[in-house]
Amino acid sequence: MPNDSHDAPPELDELRTRLATVHDLRAASAVLGWDQMTYLPAQGGAARGRQLATLSQVAHEKFTDDRVGSLLEALRPYADAVGPEHPDAALIRVAHRDWDHARRVPADFLAAFTEHTSTSYQAWATARPANDFAAIAPILEKTVEMSRQYAGYFPHTTHVADPLVDAAEPGLGVADVRALFSALRSRLVPLVRAATDQPRPDDTCLTRHYPEDAQWRFSEMVATRLGYDFSRGRQDRAPHPFTTSFSRDDVRITTRLSADDLRFGLFATMHEAGHGMYEQGIAPALDGTLLGSGASSGIHESQSRLWENLVGRSRDFWEWGYPLLQAEFPDQLSDVPLDTFHRAINRVEPSLIRVEADELTYNLHIMMRFDFELALLDGSMRVRDLPEAWRTRFVEDLGIAPPDDRNGCMQDVHWFAGPVGGAFQGYTIGNVLAAQLYERAVKDLPSIPGAITRGEFGELLGWLHTRLHALGRKHDVHETVHRSTGASLTIEPYMAYLHGKFGALYGV
C-alpha cells in the first residue's frame, strides 16, 4: 500500500509544474501533427515543419534543463521513503528515466538525424514508386550507421539494438523479443502452411460498391458501441489512419475509406478505436503528466488488435453486428449469409504487403523485419543484400516471392523516416498480448463472449480500463503485463486463439 505519511517536499511541486509545461508543449505538437495529417492546406507544409521543429526544440530544452535533473536528484529520498507503489514515486521514476534518455543524445546529433531522416523520407517517396532500391540504398546505409550511433549513447547489455527496442518497449531487450519470436515462428509457419493448403474462402462480397457516407455512419456507430467516447474524441479522414491524444478528454482517431472494399474503413475504425479507448481510459489523476499515455508501442498495439481482431473479426461480434450491417447495405449483403461474411473477413492468404496481410500471416511479415533490423545493425547483413534476403525469407515463410523491391523491402516507411531498429516488433507483441489479455478477461468475467453476441462491450472495456488502461506509463512492459494479466508475456493464449479460430474456419 502507498505510504502517505511522508509530506511531499517543495521540489515535487516545481517538478510537476515544469513537467506540465513540457507535456503541454508536446500536446500542442500533437495537435499540429493531427492537423497536418487531416486538414493542412496543400502549401502549408513548410511553415508547419518549422512550427513543429520549434515546439519540439523548446520542449526538449525545457525537459533537459539541469534544474529538472537536480529536482529529480533531490526527490530521490522522498521516492524511496514513500515506496514504489506511491503515484509520486512512479512519476519521479519515469521522469528520471525519460530525462536520462533525453540527456544522453547530444542536441546536434539529434538535429543531424532529424535532417537525415527528412531527406531519407523525401528520397523514399520518389524511389519507392520507381522501384529504385539503388537510389535509396546509400541513404539507408547512413540511417543504419546513425541508428547504431544513436544506440551507442545508451548502455546496452548484449545487442547493439537493445536501446532501440527499449525505447519502444521499456524494459524489453533484443533477447526478450528474440525468444518470443523464435517460439512463435516455429509454431506459426506450419499453421500458415496448413491453412493456405485449404481452398480460399470467397471474399468477393467485401469488394462490392459500398457508399462512403454509409460506411462512415456504420463505423461511428460501431466505435460508439465498442465504448469509444465521441464526447472526448472525434473521427476524421487521413491517408494513413492513426490515433493521437492531447489529453484523456481529447483523443482522436482517423480512418480511410474505400468505396470498393468494405474492410479498409471498418477495421481501421475498430483498430484506431482500440488505441483511442486505451488513451481515454488512462486514470484521470495521470492526465497532463508524463504518465498520462500508453505504456509502450506493443501494449498500445495490443489494444488496437484486441478490438480489431479478437472482437471485430469474431463470430460472436458479427452475431450482433451482421444484421445491422446488412440493414445498412441491403443491396450488397442481403444475399450473403453470416458464415460466408465471417469467412471472408478472416480469409488467410500469403501476400506481399504487411498492412494488407491477414491476421495469421501478419506476424511473419513483422518477424522478418525484426531479424533484418538486427542483422543490419550488428553488421551481419549489408544494406545491399537486403532485397535478396527479403525474397529468400518470403519464400521460406510464406511460399511466395515479391516481384520487385517496391513490394518488397521498400514497402514500409519506417526505415526511411526514422531509425532502423525497434520499429516493428510492437505489432507482433501487440497480437500476442491481445490474446493473453482477452483470455484473462474472460477468465475473470466469463460472461464477456455472450455479451459480445448482444453487442455489449462494457464488461470487456471496463476490465481493460481497470486492469490496464488506468496504469498509463507508470510501469515498464514486464510490470504492466504482469499487473494486467497476472503473468509474464507468453505466446500460449495467442496460439490457442489462432488454433481455435483458424482450426474451426479451415479445419486445420
For the CB of residue 87, give the shortest distance to a second copy in the complex, in Å.
19
For the CB of residue 110, give the shortest distance to a second copy in the complex, in Å.
17
What backbone phi and psi angles, to 5 degrees, belong to 473? -100, 25
Inter-residue contact 313 to 435 (CB < 8 Å): no
Distance CA(191)–CA(98), nearest Å, equals 41
Whichever of 177 and 223 has its CB closer to a second copy, that residue is 223
Three-class SS state of 291: coil
Inter-residue contact 195 to 508 (CB < 8 Å): yes
Whichever of 5 and 231 has its CB closer to a second copy, that residue is 231
For the CB of residue 132, give the shortest distance to a second copy in the complex, in Å.
29
Distance CA(355)–CA(268), nearest Å, equals 11
SS3 readout for 312-332 = CCCHHHHHHHHHHHHHHCHHH
Q: In Å, what is the CA distance from 72 to each residue of 23, 61, 282, 298, 464?
A: 17, 16, 24, 28, 32
Whichever of 41 and 199 has its CB closer to a second copy, that residue is 41
Q: Which neighbouring-strand residues pair with 255?
A: 237
Whichever of 1 and 46 has its CB closer to a second copy, that residue is 46
Q: What length does the chain have?
A: 508
β strands within 145-286, DSSP E: 233-237, 243-247, 250-255
Q: In what order do the strands lie in the sheet with 233-237?
A: 233-237, 250-255, 243-247
For the CB of residue 74, give the shortest distance to a second copy in the complex, in Å.
23
Inter-residue contact 428 to 181 (CB < 8 Å): yes
Q: In Å, what is the CA distance from 300 to each residue of 40, 128, 423?
A: 27, 29, 14
Whichever of 48 and 347 has its CB closer to a second copy, that residue is 48
Whichever of 287 and 356 has its CB closer to a second copy, that residue is 287
- Interacting residues of 493 by C-beta distance below 8 A, sequence separation 6+: 435, 436, 438, 439, 440
Measured in whole angstroms, how far is the alpha carbon of residue 491 from the centre of its chain? 18
For the CB of residue 47, give the shortest distance to a second copy in the complex, in Å.
3
Torsion 486-82-172-55 (CA) sign: positive
Which residues contact a second copy (rule: CB under 8 A)?
Answer: 20-21, 24-25, 27-29, 31-32, 35, 39-44, 46-48, 50-51, 53-55, 57-58, 62, 230-234, 236, 246-247, 249-250, 252, 287-288
Distance CA(434)–CA(167), nearest Å, equals 21
For the CB of residue 196, give the shortest distance to a second copy in the complex, in Å.
43
Distance CA(412)–CA(354), nearest Å, equals 8
For the CB of residue 417, give the shortest distance to a second copy in the complex, in Å.
22
Whichever of 53 and 183 has its CB closer to a second copy, that residue is 53
For the CB of residue 103, give the shortest distance to a second copy in the complex, in Å.
20
Whichever of 14 and 250 has its CB closer to a second copy, that residue is 250
Instruction: Give the DSSP per-residue string, 112-177.
Output: HHHHHHHHHHHHHHHHTTTT-HHHHHHHHHHHHHHHHHHHHTS--SS-TTHHHHHHHSTT--HHHH
- Catalytic residue selected from 169, 272, 279, 459: 272
Distance CA(247)–CA(233), nearest Å, equals 10
Distance CA(414)–CA(394), nearest Å, equals 19
Distance CA(311)–CA(370), nearest Å, equals 27
What backbone phi and psi angles, to 5 degrees, belong to 141? -60, -45
Distance CA(167)–CA(179), nearest Å, equals 19
Distance CA(58)–CA(54), nearest Å, equals 6
Whichever of 1 and 42 has its CB closer to a second copy, that residue is 42
For the CB of residue 254, give the shortest distance to a second copy in the complex, in Å.
12
Whichever of 111 and 487 has its CB closer to a second copy, that residue is 111
Would you call 272 a catalytic residue per the annotation?
yes
For the CB of residue 232, give the shortest distance to a second copy in the complex, in Å.
5
Provide the annotated active-site residues.
272
